[in-house]
Structure 1
Amino acid sequence: MNGGGKVVCVTGASGYIASWIVKLLLLRGYSVRATVRNPTDTAKTEHLLALEGAKERLKLFKADLLEECSFEQAIEGCDAVFHTASPVKFIVTDPQTELIDPAVKGTINVLNTCKKTSSVKRVILTSSTAAVLIRQPPLGPNDVVDETFFSDPSYCMETKFWYPLSKTLAENAAWQFAKDNGMDMIVIVPGFIIGPLLQPTLNHSVELIVDIINGKNPFHSINYRFVDVRDVALAHVKALETPSANGRYIMDGPSMTIYDIKETMRKLFPDLCIADTKEEVDEMKEYIYKAYVDKVKSLGVELTPPESILRDTIISLKEKCLL
């Protein structure tokens, strides 16, 4: 039991990645304080309360990203904090209110509480390759993306890439805060996450797989890269448990075309009815690059191959009647 006796907080705990982080932490013997917006909403909390070890070592707390002191109770007495809470939306009418404020202000609210809580030794933040890839000139096939790459906020604004903008601004603000306050912070930077679901409802990233099966291609992209939610959760926990862990950790899978994805799904599930994609593809948005993932492997995280991730995602979607 790595976490025996240690108390940690996970923000946005009912979310896709966070639920897996909570599951892993409980299995490793940690006591977990999980923040959710509404602890009485069983659709959001039931899957957490059903986890192994939850009865003994999981406590739910109500907290809201935009309420300044709302994380104090949950973080009090914690050894470490995992901040995963941030809205994921790709279509927004008011980017500032819907994405940027909760991402940036929410992150600073949580970090502020961590700073004031003397027991907190390390903070692990969830970012996204959206905070890495959006830059001018665009990335090409010879570019090797590593932890030094950041998206360009002014280019994100120009192109109205609001989600990447929210993730970039939040991560930039977090690094500035950590530097100014001498905080031990680690940032996990995953690509497009799929894999089995613990929560009962479909989340934005896994919805892509359902869309592809139904003949849609919501991102109008030919190429996709997937990273397994279980690998991402493990990287978060290893970032806490590895004393020498530092800085950012990029996690991304190999590039697969939408045609490869369908071919793989047909091979794995011959009975699955996969519609033909009739949608336009936007060549402008194609990001072909190489990703350097050796740093995250140094934490002892092996990345699951895309075929296995696709298989486990579809099995999970079937089990949850979401297909």
Structure 2
Amino acid sequence: MESKGTTVCVTGAGGYVASWLIKLLLSNGYTVHGTVRDPDDLKNAHLKNLENAEENLKLFKADLLDYESIAAAINGCSGVFHVASPVILGSVPNPEVEIVEIAVKGTLNVLKASKESANVKRVLFVSSVAAACVSSTLAEGGYDIDETCWSDKEFCRKTNNWYCLSKTEAEMEALEFAKGSGLDLVTVCPSLVFGPKLQSTINDTSLVLINFLKVGNGIMENTIQWLVDVRDVVNALLIVYEKAESSSSSEGLRYICNGHSIWTKDMVEMMKNIYPHSNYPDKFTDEKKGNQLSSEKLQKLGWSFRPLEETLVDSVNNFKEDGILD
């Protein structure tokens, strides 16, 4: 399929993953239409400073719930990377509307605009392992989680796991839309994304790592952490987008993207060896049975991932440079 040198759209351009994706696309010769709420907002300034951005990046003022604005950004593009999604890990007054409904409606607007465009040949939707790993059965541990697994929507509601519900609903609706319309859609499901950030704001997944370094005396739950570097995630997105064999017409419709599975306690011990003076927790709960997360399908396309220590070091150094950590 067409790839380098063509124009693609990236939704949620100013975000953590999307910023790295745009950087990669620009370095590979793509022209990029990026959607943001306000192109002149200073929090999007890092995008304009990327290499080749002046010539090949155009920011569009768009809202996922405003179909016309999304369609304008997608117009003239041969591919779409739908990255934008509400990532709200805390509580909100009406999560069904503020998290789930926005994710689903926004995704369907992107897909409809892509289908109606004469040029779009493939849409890549960034989902999450959150759409594959949350159910009462999987909570017991001891399972191998792959692309055939789906989170239980009612269990997500029952446990107030609205982010997981939003990703599950959005991905399911996206696949159903593609099935009915013939749109070439591929989904990628990353695990918890760590790594240095390009944007000035702190994203929720970076806060997870920062909190490991600032917990202080106390007890922390010892669970399996599934982790992947943001730079490896965007490499995966480009591989899946460019390779014809990843198409929804083949067996490659959905891809789990996970680099490492590690117990929280083991990760903290790794961090202690690198940064011994941070304020770590001193106690952990007992290990429970964990689940294994497979990225074998993605690796068969040629994807690889960097060592976890590299990700952790690059993340912490980035946080220190930005004054987030001492």
The TM-score, its normalising length taken from structure 1, stands at 0.92
**2:99 is equivalent to residue 99 of structure 1:** yes
State the one-letter code of the partner of 2:49.
A
The match for 1:69 is 68
Matched with 1:306 is: 308
Match of 2:236 in 1: 235
One-letter code aligned to 1:55: E
Within 1, Cα distance between the matches of 2:286 and 2:86? 25
The question of whether the paired residues in 1 share the 8 Å contact of 2:192 and 2:205 is answered with yes
The one-letter amino acid paired with 2:10 is: V
Shift of 1:4: 4.1
Match of 2:226 in 1: 225
Q: Secondary structure at the match of 1:29?
A: coil
Structure 1 counterpart of 2:161: 161
Asked whether the equivalents of residues 192 and 227 of structure 1 are also in contact (C-alpha less than 8 Å), the reply is yes
Q: CA deviation at 1:266?
A: 2.1
* Deviation for aligned residue 1:141: 4.7
Aligned to 1:15: 15
206-215 or 134-143, which deviates more? 134-143
Correspondence 1:266 to 2:268: no
Which 10-residue stretch deviates more, 198-207 or 259-268?
259-268
Does 106-115 or 251-260 show the bigger shift?
251-260
For residues 289 and 11 of structure 2, the distance between their equivalents in structure 1, rounded to whole angstroms, comes to 31
One-letter code aligned to 1:168: T
Residue aligning to 2:208: 208
Q: Which amino acid counterpart does residue 314 of structure 1 have in structure 2? A: V
Indicate conservation of the 8 Å contact 1:215/1:278, yes or no. Answer: no
Letter in 1 for 2:126: T
Secondary structure, aligned partner of 1:69? helix
Q: CA offsets per residue over residues 18-39 of structure 1, 9 Å max, x none? A: 0011000000000000000111
Rounded to whole Å, the distance in 1 between the matches of 2:294 and 2:300 is 12
TM-superposed deviation, 1:68: 2.2
Change (3 A) 1:104 1:280: farther
* C-alpha contact 1:255 1:288 (8 A) present in aligned 2: no
| Percent identity (aligned) | 40
Question: How many Å separate the matches in 2 of 1:218 and 1:64?
Answer: 41
* Corresponding residue number in structure 2 for 1:289: 291
Name the stretch that deviates more: 183-192 or 91-100: 91-100
User: Displacement, 1:3?
Assistant: 4.6
Contact 1:95 1:162 in 2 (8 A): yes
CA distance in 2, matches of 1:32, 1:293: 28
The answer on whether the counterparts of 1:262 and 1:274 sit within 8 Å (CA) in structure 2 is no
Aligned equivalents of 2:219, 2:175: Cα separation in 1: 32
Query: Which AA in structure 2 matches 1:125?
Result: F
Look up the match of 1:182.
Answer: 182
Q: Is the 8 A contact 1:92 1:98 kept in 2?
A: no
Are 1:83 and 2:87 counterparts?
Answer: no
Secondary structure in structure 2 of the residue aligned to 1:224:
strand
Structure 2: segments with no counterpart, 5+ residues: 247-251
CA distance in 2, matches of 1:68, 1:282: 49
1:92 Cα deviation after fit = 2.1
1:197 positional shift: 0.5
Aligned residues: 317
Matching of residues 243-254 of structure 1 within 5 Å: 243-245=244-246, 246-254=252-260
TM-score normalised by L of structure 2 = 0.92
Answering whether residue 315 of structure 2 is matched by residue 277 of structure 1, we say no
CA separation of 1:27 and 1:287: change in aligned 2, threshold 3 A: farther
Structure 1's unaligned 5+ residue stretches are none
- Match of 2:36, as an amino acid? V
Quote how far apart the aligned CAs of 1:304 are. Answer: 1.9
Partners in 1 of 2:190 and 2:231 — Cα distance?
Answer: 12
CA 1:183–1:311 in structure 2 vs 1: closer, same or farther (change >3 Å)? same
Q: Sort the Cα spacing of 1:61 and 1:219 in 2 relative to 1 into closer, same or farther, 3 A.
A: farther
What's the CA shift for 1:287? Answer: 7.0
Alpha-carbon offset, residue 125 of structure 1: 0.3
The one-character-per-residue Cα deviations of 1:101-150 (angstroms, maximum 9, x if unpaired) are: 21000000110100100100000000001100011312555311111101
